[in-house]
Amino acid sequence: FYDEAEARKYTQNSRVVEIQSQMSERAVELLGLPEDRPCLLLDVGCGSGLSGDYISEEGHYWIGMDISPAMLDVAVEREVEGDLLLADVGHGIPFRPGMFDGCISISAVQWLCNADKKSHSPPKRLYRFFSTLYTALARGSRAVLQLYPENSEQLELITAQAMRAGFTGGMVVDYPNSAKAKKFFLCLFVGTSGTLPKGLGTECADEELHQAKFTSERTRFKNLKGKSVKKSRDWILEKKERRRRQGKEVRPDTKYTGRKRRPHF
């Protein structure tokens, strides 16, 4: 568990924020959500709401679950747009059937493989999580869980319990030949067996070409094609408009909205 100071430090680390944003973008992309309407997503292990920020920017709604009170306190301080729930997902997902249009999770599910208490059985906790998640998701939706497995046994245990709970799908591995950029996404289908998406950076066998491909993919996250650049005036106005629609109190828009302040000497 993080204490308050650690949680704040983690959330303010620009490198952490950048990685979380990239992985959240990739996870939401793998969900294959409809483009014509906003969706309700579940964020498992939401922490301080960094992945939720990306979901909100995309115009979707979300509910986040996390086991760390300190992380959720920071999320409340940051005034994230999603609803938050303090809970251990190893006890199950406590929502009504078919409630969510999709689920993402960034760097959280592998913790269910640890037996932190004598009563904890990792296979049972994983099955409880996946079986209740399956129920909470709408038919035809997906769950995309990014994780850091310690070894192949852990990976097999997680995948086996997901399949046992009724999911179809499998592991999507981005940049499998890169030690630093390699990422595992467990892509799960509910009620339908869709085609498993291809991992990024898997197209080229040649190492040089692979490296070039990897570089161009990295810039894709920074350009955010077709979207307002983060912290720009348009981005701020869009965020304020979303908050108004949610009935929250927002300062009125003026000619100064989004304008950079002059440095003070």
Assess whether 29 and 128 both reside in one domain: yes
Instruction: Return the higher-pLDDT residue of 172 and 263.
Output: 172
Amino acid at 120: H
Q: Considering 167, 190, 213, which residue would you say is the last residue of a domain? A: 190
Assess whether 149 and 55 both reside in one domain: yes
Q: What dihedral do alpha carbons 190, 194, 196, 198 form, nearest 10°?
A: -130
Say if 218 falls within a structural domain. Answer: no
Q: Which of 164, 102, 170 is nearest to 139 (CA)?
A: 102
Instruction: Return the higher-pLDDT residue of 114 and 230.
Output: 114
117-156 per-residue burial string, b: 16 or more CB within 10 A, e: under 16:
eeeeebeebbbbbbbbbbbbbbeebbbbbbbebeeeebbe
Assess whether 107 and 235 both reside in one domain: no
- Coil vs helix vs strand at 47: coil
Q: Assign residue 34 the CATH number of its domain.
A: 3.40.50.150
Q: For the whole model, what pTM was predicted?
A: 0.74
Assess whether 239 and 109 both reside in one domain: no
Say if 157 falls within a structural domain. Answer: yes
pLDDT band at 133 (very low <50, low <70, confident <90, very high): very high
- Exposure of 168 in the CB half-sphere (CA atoms within 13 A): 11
Assess whether 23 and 128 both reside in one domain: yes
Assess whether 242 and 124 both reside in one domain: no
- Bridge partner list, 184: 147, 173
Assess whether 62 and 139 both reside in one domain: yes
Say if 37 falls within a structural domain. Answer: yes
Q: Considering 164, 190, 216, which residue would you say is the last residue of a domain? A: 190
Say if 235 falls within a structural domain. Answer: yes
Q: Considering 165, 190, 215, which residue would you say is the last residue of a domain? A: 190
What is the tens place of the pLDDT at every residue in 15-54? 878 888 899 999 999 999 998 899 999 999 999 999 999 9
**Alpha carbon separation from 34 to 40, 98, 135 (Å, rounded):** 12, 16, 21
Assess whether 186 and 240 both reside in one domain: no
Q: Which of 93, 117, 109 is nearest to 144 (CA)?
A: 109
Q: What is the pLDDT of residue 228?
A: 65
Assess whether 162 and 242 both reside in one domain: no
The encoded tokens of residue 51 equal: 């992945």
On whether the CB atoms of residues 129 and 121 are closer than 8 A, the answer is no
Q: Which domain holds residue 250?
A: 226-264
- Exposure of 140 in the CB half-sphere (CA atoms within 13 A): 2
Assess whether 186 and 233 both reside in one domain: no
Assess whether 158 and 38 both reside in one domain: yes
Q: What is the C-alpha separation between 133 and 152, in angstroms, rounded? A: 23
Say if 179 falls within a structural domain. Answer: yes
pLDDT band at 62 (very low <50, low <70, confident <90, very high): very high
Say if 147 falls within a structural domain. Answer: yes
Say if 206 falls within a structural domain. Answer: no
On whether the CB atoms of residues 94 and 72 are closer than 8 A, the answer is no
Q: What is the C-alpha separation between 161 and 179, in angstroms, rounded? A: 27
Residue corresponding to tokens 């300062």: 251
Domain tally for the chain? 2
Assess whether 17 and 95 both reside in one domain: yes
